[in-house]
Amino acid sequence: MRVEMRHIYKSFGPVRALQDVSLTVEAGTIHGLLGENGAGKTTLMKILSGYLRPDRGEILLNGEPVRFASPADGLRYGIGMLHQDPLDFPTMSVLDNFMMGCENGFWLDRQRARRALQELARLFGFDLDPEARVDRMTVGERQQLELLRLLRQGIRVLILDEPTTGISAPQRAQLFDTLRRLAREGKTVIFVTHKLEEIEELCHRVTVLRQGRLAGEAAPPYSPRRLIEMMFGRSLSKPERRPALPGEPVLQIQNLIAGDYRLRLGRVNLTVRSGEIIGLAGMEGSGQHLLMRVCAGLIRPWEGCICVRGRDLTGKPYCAFLDAGVLFVPANRLEEGLISGLTLTEHFQLVYPTGGYLINWERARAEAQRRIQEFNIRGEPETMVEALSGGNQQRAMLALIRKPVHLLLLEHPTRGLDVESSMWIWQQLKEQAQQGAALMVISSDLQELLEYCDRIIVFFGGQVSEPMNAEELTTDQLAQMIAGYGWRG
């Protein structure tokens, strides 16, 4: 189906999210949508799927003007969207989530749905337990589930809002193959991403947005420099690599075994020194998030011990870890990191109170303004955190890091961030390391891990590799290990 959006405008109160944006996507093509954080990509796609209504402008499908009052209308025309933050039902089972919206008929046929789910999952190499509750899964797995559901729904126009942020390299290759196949079948695919190499690999055409306006279009062969200029209005340069100078051990893990209801992680022996950045790689749910949460003091290990700066914290409550200077920045921004319904100022007040019991709002506002500027957040002190674009939420999370911090644990710190913001975040992290903090970072972007981390450990099904020197590794080697090759025993 040929999709045309013409002269779309959309404002949220004073924020002009989209101004005069037009987009044409031919049937049977994969169309990329690029743009910095807050450029309006998600807003544009929500309008196309019927989730939001434009203030002005029209949508044409195969040349016919259509008007969507709700996503139900969009779905009727076969337009389905994979949302950036999975829009699913956390307390329900994977199977229920899968069936919701893609089953018709009065009776639920669980057996059939389960078979369909398992078949699709096998096709992609995803490992999803139909009975597991969705809130026990990682964001990446939830995205996988949503993707499978949309495919099952028989969508004609598939919108993917940053679908690759939560899946590993081998799974991404599978996904790309499927998208290409869908396009060959005549389906229309719109692919929102921040990663230029994905655009190069996959997209037949790309549209770039900048600050709510159309910045341009491009067709292959793409020039990454040119795309970056279109996105940011200027070119960027990569920071140079500086070798780390590891100092005292900050985190010592000995003989650790931990687990949750489906995975057993063990045994881990690891020492992280100050000034060092350790990257954790692995498919979603291989144990890296579990280790992170054990180190953060959120999950108690079954066996073994954890010392932070020489103090044994095994079995101690979360606040003891906080006191020891351990800070955990979770991936699930809106559920675990930020508080919906509170403004930026209020968030900063929670972490850095100005004054005593009474809040001096004027000073608080000025303080918030300062931090907003320092961390380059696109928003006002009064902005509710849930109204920030994904990238800006991530910046806000980093702005909330309390000092002094000795051990910084980050899950997907650059998930959903544009190139510039990712570079900026890594620069911040490097700075933290140089000031003596030890960092552990989970990321599904192997290149970024290799580029910025000093050592890397790989997880596979609860097994943990020895730390490996990042400079001696290649992406291919890493991808192999993540997929389970080259493990002893």
Partner 1 sequence: MTPEWIFGLAGVLVAAAPLVIAVVGETLSERAGVVNLSLNGAMLLAAMVGFAAAVQTGSLELGFLAATMIGALMALVVAFASLTLRQSQVAVGLVLALLGRDLAYFLGSPFMNIPGPRVGPLPIPVLKDLPILGPLLFQQTPTVYISVLVVVAAWIWMFRTRPGLVLRCVGERPSAAFGRGVPVTRVRYGYAVLGGALVGFAGAAYILDFKGGWQGPISGMDGIGWIVLAITIFGGWHPVRGAFGVLLFALLQWLSLVVQPSLPGIPPQVFYVVPFPLMIFALLLTNLGNAEWVQMALSRLPESRRRLAFRILHSLRVSPPAGLGMAFKEE
Contact footprint for Mg ion (CB under 5 A): 42, 84
Under rule CB under 8 A, residue 8 binds partner 1: no
Contact mark string toward partner 1, 130..169, x via CB under 8 A: -x-x------------------------------------
351 binding partner 1? (CB under 8 A): no
> Which residue number, 102 or 417, has a Cβ lying nearer to ligand ATP?
417
Q: Which two tokens stand for residue 305?
A: 């011990």
* Local structure of 286: helix, strand or coil: coil
> Which of 356, 254, 355 has the alpha carbon at shortest distance from 313?
254
Among 20, 62, 67, 108, binds partner 1 (CB under 8 A): 108
Residue 171 contact partner, candidates Mg ion, ligand ATP, partner 1, none, CB within 5 to 8 A by sort of partner: none
For partner 1, the binding residues in 291-320 under the rule CB under 8 A are 300, 302
Question: How many Cα atoms sit within 13 Å of 72 on the Cβ side?
Answer: 2
Least Cα distance to 189 among 201, 197, 200, 178 occurs for 178
The rounded distance, in Å, linking the Cα atoms of 135 and 170 is: 24
Q: How many residues does the chain have?
A: 489
**Among 87-95, 102-110, 259-267, 381-389, the segment contacting ligand ATP (CB under 6 A):** 381-389
From the list ligand ATP, Mg ion, partner 1, none, partner contacted by residue 101 (C-beta under 5 to 8 A by kind): partner 1
* 486 token code pair: 């080259």
> Which one, 105 or 356, has the nearer CB to partner 1?
105
For every residue of 1-23, DSSP letters joined together read: --EEEEEEEEEETTEEEEEEEEE
**166 touches ligand ATP by CB under 6 A:** no
Rounded-to-integer distance, Cα 44 and Cα 52, Å = 9
Phi-psi map region of 380: left, alpha, beta (phi>0 left; psi -120 to 50 alpha): beta
Instruction: Please count the residues of this chain forming the interface with ligand ATP, following the rule CB under 6 A.
Output: 19
Cβ proximity of 272 and 438 under 8 Å? yes
In the set 71, 285, 287, 297, which binds partner 1 (CB under 8 A)?
71
Nearest distance, CB of residue 68 and ligand ATP, angstroms? 17
Give whole-number Cα distances, 352 to 168, 345, 366, 388, 413, in Å.
36, 10, 13, 21, 21
Assigned token pair, 355: 């004054």
Tokens 């985190």 correspond to 251
- Among residue numbers 44 through 63, which ones bind partner 1 (CB under 8 A)? 51-53
Question: Which listed option, Mg ion, ligand ATP, partner 1, none, makes contact with residue 104 (CB within 5 to 8 Å by class)?
Answer: partner 1
Which pair of tokens denotes residue 252? 């010592």
Q: Is 35 in the site for ligand ATP (CB under 6 A)?
A: yes
Q: Which of 13, 105, 243, 341 binds partner 1 (CB under 8 A)?
A: 105
Chain-centroid distance of CA 459 in Å reads 19
Q: By CB under 8 A, name the binding residues for partner 1.
A: 51-53, 70-72, 74-76, 81, 83, 87-92, 96, 99-101, 103-108, 131, 133, 259, 261-262, 264, 300, 302
Q: By CB under 6 A, name the binding residues for ligand ATP.
A: 12, 15, 17, 35, 37-43, 84, 378, 387-391, 416
